[in-house]
Amino acid sequence: MKAMILAAGLGERMRPLTEHRPKPLLEIAGKPLLQYHIEALARASVTELVINHALMGAMIEEYFGKGERFNINIRYSAEGDEPLETAGGIKRALPLLGEAPFIVVNGDIWTDFDFSRLPASPTGLAHLVLVDNPPHHPQGDFQLKDGDLKDRGSKRYTFSGIGVYHPALFKTMTEEVFPLAPLLKEAMKNNQVTGELHPHLWLDIGTPERLNEANLIAKN
């Protein structure tokens, strides 16, 4: 099974830490954030990985290379200085990902999720991993009921940034720059999105404060 790590964000909320290096290279306990995902995917027997990048993306390529030291083959999808948003970035990378379902993980999260739990072939167009709502996102994103996800309901969980997607999810896209949420919500209307809850470690490393929190957790 192939996988993609989304690493094209500009990291504007992380400044000044991201003025001279991309956010995925910020470190937790002395290890780049992106490396945690690469190692976890390799443990889950993923052998083919695509990483997209934008501003300062050459630094990511220089650091991780072709992935030999992680026992994983890494290819890159360069987006230039302006990222294509989530769905746009994934669609750009589809020629590298092939025609089978693939794993996608946001490069700016930190988690102990076991990627081997993910279905190799979701029953619909997508399978998402949800987490309990963090303080900075109390309203959540989607309702999880009997394994299906809906864009409604009073009890919502937060999308973790981890999912499995079928390439067909992106076939209706015509714009080059496009977010992922509208595609998922449309698929949910047709009962084409399943999900699961991850009740353990997960942090969205979106601010310097949350990066500090991750470092404190890693030290304990």
pLDDT in tens, 95-144: 999 999 999 999 999 999 999 999 999 999 999 999 999 998 999 999 99
- The domain 2-219: what is its CATH number? 3.90.550.10
The amino acid at residue 45 is S
Please tell me the predicted confidence (pLDDT) of residue 219. Answer: 83
State the Cα–Cα distance between residues 197 and 54, nearest whole angstrom. 31
Domain positions in the chain? 2-219
Mean pLDDT of 78-101: 92
pTM for the model: 0.94
Please tell me the predicted confidence (pLDDT) of residue 138. Answer: 94
Six-digit token pair at 91? 């669609």
